Every structure is written in C-alpha cells, then in structure tokens.
Amino acid sequence: MPRANNKLSQLTVTRTTKPGLYADGGNLYLQITTAGVKSWLFRYMRNGKPRGMGLGPVHTIGLAEARVLALDCRRQLLAGTDPLDARNAERAAKRVAESNDVTFQHCAEKYIEAHRAGWKNAKHADQWANTLATYAYPVFDSRPVSTIDTALVMRVLEPIWTTKTETASRLRGRIESVLDWATVRGYRSGENPARLKGHLDTLLPKRSRVQKVEHHPALPYADLPEFIKTLRLEPGVAAFALEFLILTATRTNEVIGATWQEFDLDEGIWTIPAERMKMRKEHRVPLSMRANALVKAQKEVKQNDYVFPGARKGKPLSNMAMLKLLERMKRDDITVHGFRSTFRDWAGETTHYPREVCEAALAHGIKDKAEAAYARGDLFAKRAVLMQDWANFCA
C-alpha cells in the first residue's frame, strides 16, 4: 500500500522545479510558484471551506521541520482550533505588546496623512488635526493607543457634548476612525471604545435633545428683489457670482469652482460633477434666462478655466469673496449660504411646487431609504420651470 504520509523525499524537494502543489501527506504540500519559489503549505477544511496556511520557504524550513509544523497544525485542528486564526491572533497580540510606545497622537497623524488625498479640501485635514489637538491629545496624553478605553473617551467628550455638540459629535467620529485604524494596524485589539451605536449612545444624551439648531442668517424672501437691485450696482466678479448663486440656489464652493466645460449654454444646463457636490452625486442645474446671461457675460471676459476667476492667476474666486461683498454692502445680518433658505422659504410659502421638486433644486438627498430607492429621476423639467419663476421673482 502507498504511504499516507511522508511521500516526498529531500531529493524530490530539491530536484522538482515544475510549478504546482506536491503532497507529502498529512495536509502538507510542497508549493512551487511560476516564478520558481518553493515553500511549504498546510491545506485543510474549516467549516466546509478550504484554507491554506504557509509554513515558510524551503530554503529556511527543511522537510523534516515542515512535517513537525504540519503535525502541530493537525493537533490544533483535532482540539477544535483553527491553526491559521490562532497564528494570526498570536501575531496580533505580539504587535499590541510591542506597541506600548505607539501613542494615539502618532496614529492620528498617520491616519490623517493616509487619508489627506481623498478628502475634498486641505481644510478638512486641518479641521481633523485641530479638533484632536484641542480636545483629545491633552486627555490621552502619551498613553499607548492600546490603553485608550471608554472612560478616557468620555473624559474627552463629556465636557463639550452639551455645549459644543456638533464639534463633540465630529470629534467622537474622528476618534473612532483613528482607533479603528490602530486596530487594523495591530496597535490595539478589542471593541472600539468610541463607537456610538450600542455603546456611547447609552452614556451620552441624544444630540437632538442637547444641540441647539443654528440656522444660517437668511434674507426674508420679500426683501430679495430690492437686494438684487442693489447687488446689480456692485462692480466686480463677486457680485456676478453672488447673483448667480442666488439664482441657482447652489453653494459657495459649487459656484466658485464652476468651470466652462460644465456648461451647455445652448440648452441652459449646468452639470456639476459628483466630486464637487456635497452628496457626491452629479447635479444638473437648469439655468434661468438671467443665470444663463450671467455666464455668457463672464465668457466675454474669460480669463481662465473658471467662470468666476479670482485675483490670482489661474485660480477661482476666493471662497470669502462673496462674504466680503456682503460686508461692503453693510449686510452683516445675512450669510451667503442663507440665500438657499431664502429660496426654500419662497418656494414653500408662495408657490405650489411639490416638496420633492424644491428639495431636488437644493440637491438635498432623500432621507427615507424606501422613497430614495424609487426616486430615480432628477425632476429636471419641473425644476427648470421652478428656477425661471424664482428668477422672475428675484428681478
């Protein structure tokens, strides 16, 4: 009868070069890759699924030692332990034990650096660094990240949860992300003490009960026509940009970042790409006659790729330019973003347009998941009529 185990010889291991798997028996295999690399592989079934565990390269682990390692794996399986999971857990524990000098601040800085390129703008990274430096680092101090627990997280959040709720909420999420990163990197183990659901939400009051809703100061819609008359007397690109923002009910960054290739002036459509939208979804804006005329006027004095160019060569208008314009107009009682509220109040109180059309004009997402699943269109035709009525009112 052929032998069940010890099928390979040292000579076979040395001379065999053809890529493939060669069984020695007892779940042990000689593995040769297409590149000619030889190593040992322990193959087994766990819960009906095949698994493979590398035991080391042939040039370091000899045949006899590989058989001993395979025997140890079989004994673990017999005891009900998955050898691959056990090894991974042992390595993770070792990394945690060796990470006593890895602080939360070190992990946070590495996390920010790793994600900086994927964030919408540089300010986002600065906000991360500033909130963590202000509230988290002083409490966590130089403690190893592996020792950060619920009590420490609460020491960071409790003092500002009811007074600076929005900041505290964002801070909590940032701490949670850094700790998740540290866990994946092997610097800590166990549950994340900064998670909200089923954990901190049992210790902290609900945001809705402690957070004061702060609205952007907005101009009453009845005062808008007179404001537009005054605005049109103001010189400069910022005045054109602000009127365009009002007419399209869009956001500051969407307007100042607008480039010529986003516009089809013959059709009266401005298509804002997904990467420039808050909801990360492409948004088509129907242009009223006045909004279209503003873009055409800017085209006659085109300076660079941006519809509303800034003072610096090749750059768009500053995100503070329209706010500064309001200050020059002695209108520090309102904000640029507040004009979206002015539009929504006008649409809701003086027109019969359905709520979903008004919300689509503002590029608001549908919170109800069931409703969102059926809302496939963007209601463009209806929004086009709405935005022309809005322009007529503004004039």
Tens of pLDDT along 149-161? 999 999 999 999 9
Q: What one-letter code names the amino acid at 206?
A: K
- Does the pLDDT of residue 215 top 70, yes or no? no
pLDDT number for residue 208: 66
pTM of the shown model? 0.54
pLDDT number for residue 374: 41
DSSP-derived pairing of the beta strands 28-32 and 269-272: unpaired
**Residue 304 burial (CB count, 10 A):** 14
- Does the pLDDT of residue 370 top 90, yes or no? no
Q: What is the pLDDT of residues 326-364, one digit of tens each?
A: 999 999 889 999 999 999 999 999 999 999 999 999 998
| Residue 188 confidence class, pLDDT cut points 50, 70, 90 | confident
- Domain that includes residue 54, residue range: 10-95
Q: How far apart are CA 9 and CA 6, in angstroms?
A: 8
Cα angle value 53/55/59 (rounded, 5°): 145
Residues 182 and 122 in one domain: yes
216 domain residue, yes or no: no
Residue of higher predicted confidence among 82 and 1: 82
Here the CATH number for the domain that contains residue 243 is: 1.10.443.10
143 domain residue, yes or no: yes
Q: What are the beta bridge partners of residue 44?
A: 51
Q: By percentage, how much of the chain surpasses pLDDT 70?
A: 91
How many residues would you count in the chain?
395
pLDDT number for residue 1: 40
- N- to C-terminal Cα distance for the chain? 98
- Does the pLDDT of residue 368 top 60, yes or no? no
Mean pLDDT value across the chain: 89
Q: What is the pLDDT of residues 292-311, one digit of tens each?
A: 999 999 999 888 999 999 98
pLDDT number for residue 211: 59
Residues 145 and 254 in one domain: no
Mean pLDDT over 213-224 rounds to: 79
Contact 387, 361 (CB under 8 A): yes
Contact 22, 30 (CB under 8 A): yes
Residue of higher predicted confidence among 181 and 5: 181
Q: How many domains does the chain have?
A: 3
Residues 246 and 389 in one domain: yes
Residue of higher predicted confidence among 107 and 278: 107
Residues 185 and 225 in one domain: no
Residues 253 and 311 in one domain: yes
Mean pLDDT over 108-114 rounds to: 92
Here the CATH number for the domain that contains residue 201 is: 1.10.150.130
Q: What are the beta bridge partners of residue 38?
A: 32
1 domain residue, yes or no: no
Least confident interval from 37-41, 217-221, 371-375:
371-375
Residues 230 and 362 in one domain: yes
131 domain residue, yes or no: yes
Residues 153 and 83 in one domain: no
Residues 19 and 71 in one domain: yes
pLDDT number for residue 47: 87
Here the CATH number for the domain that contains residue 36 is: 3.30.160.390
Residue of higher predicted confidence among 330 and 214: 330
332 domain residue, yes or no: yes
- Could you say which of 73, 95, 117 is where a domain stops? 95
Mean pLDDT over 252-281 rounds to: 92
- Could you say which of 95, 129, 154 is where a domain stops? 95
pLDDT number for residue 375: 46
291 domain residue, yes or no: yes
Mean pLDDT over 33-52 rounds to: 93
Residues 254 and 358 in one domain: yes
pLDDT number for residue 297: 94
| Residue 76 confidence class, pLDDT cut points 50, 70, 90 | very high
Residues 91 and 114 in one domain: no
Contact 383, 354 (CB under 8 A): no
Residues 168 and 284 in one domain: no
Residues 182 and 235 in one domain: no
pLDDT number for residue 124: 81
- Does the pLDDT of residue 22 top 60, yes or no? yes
Q: How far apart are CA 391 and CA 395, in angstroms?
A: 6
- Does the pLDDT of residue 367 top 90, yes or no? no
